[in-house]
Amino acid sequence: MKHTYFCPLDHFGSLGLTGQDAQKFLQGQITCDVNEVTKSQGQAGAYCTPKGNVIANFDLVSHKDTLLLHMPLSMVATMQQAMAKYIVFSKAKLYDASSDWCRFVVWGDHAAACIKATFGFVPDTRLGAIQNEECLVWSNNAENNEFIVYCRATAKEGVIASLKHGASLAKISAWDARQINQGLIYVTPDISDSYVPQMLNLQATGAINFKKGCYTGQEVVARMQYLGKLKRHIFIGQVTSLEALEVGQQINASKRKNVGKITSIACTGKNAYAFTAVINCTEAQEDQLHLNEQEDASISLLPLPYEIDPQVFERIKL
């Protein structure tokens, strides 16, 4: 029985950036260090408002002379519009590259072998990348055997045929649930401009470089990290509900209403859901949670697979 899977990522797109000032421009806009991006190494990052709220987060990779920001398709136009007002003074071009590529995700026990059989090489570090003229592959999580595949439309048929030899086609909900169980999230329009990066645990998943220079929202992001004022952040949850969950849906506690909101969802079975949610730390740790107006839809929280530096939390005044 195959325990290796793949599925199209049709709901993802890309923002492309080219030109001699592309790297310099982007360095002053986003949370990660663009100078560390090469043809064989990407970075996770986010783009914030001047007030420090995350507009979108992404994987930043390079193909030939183009920087690509991999993110939900629903966020590409928003990001392009937000950045366009600042790029006019740079020798760089910003464009929607979503239709330039076909996208797949591959994961499971033999995913690395499947990637090697298809492309000849396999990236073996977090966001490590390989590429040729028609394809770009990077490791979403090398330790967990997860890979993102970009290919041109002319290569799509051959890539799919090769992947089918080593992997089974899966539903996107299976991949979404896997991401949720790792405490990973991509911002969508429902929650864009709602949370600072630390509320989405981005500092714990490697999407913020605190040693790079200034970028939009940097002062707020740094102050949150070093002055310790975080009161809520991403948690992983499970719930059974007769009503379909929605991003932005309110979470209540037994003693208090509106202690959190759902940020991503995956259906895992009949009336069963996995989700991430930004929840007040106090209620998440001390109270029983349930969906808004569904007191019988009791929420179970799961441990995060990574540690959060305690310095970001609100310090207790003695």
Residues ≥6 apart with Cβ < 8 Å to 27: 33, 34, 35, 212, 213, 215
Whether the per-residue pLDDT at 317 is higher than 60: the answer is: no
**Residue 142: per-residue pLDDT:** 61
Q: Give residue-wise pLDDT tens across range 161-204.
A: 999 999 999 999 999 999 999 999 999 999 999 999 999 999 99
> Average pLDDT, stretch 107-125?
95
Beta bridge partner(s), residue 250? 261
Token representation of residue 175: 């991949």
Whether the per-residue pLDDT at 89 is higher than 90: the answer is: no
Place of tokens 């005044």: 317
CB 173 within 8 A of CB 160: no
Torsion of CA 76, 78, 79, 82, to 10 degrees: 160
What string of DSSP letters covers 33-87?
-GGG-BTTB-EEEEEE-TTS-EEEEEEEEEETTEEEEEEEHHHHHHHHHHHHHHH
For residue 241, count other CB atoms closer than 10 A to its CB.
17
Q: Among residues 152, 113, 111, which one has the least CA distance to residue 4? A: 111
pTM of the model: 0.94
Whether the per-residue pLDDT at 61 is higher than 60: the answer is: yes
**Residue 228: per-residue pLDDT:** 80
CA–CA gap between residue 241 and residue 297 (Å, rounded): 6
Whether the per-residue pLDDT at 22 is higher than 80: the answer is: yes
Beta bridge partner(s), residue 313? 230
Token representation of residue 317: 């005044």
CB 104 within 8 A of CB 114: no
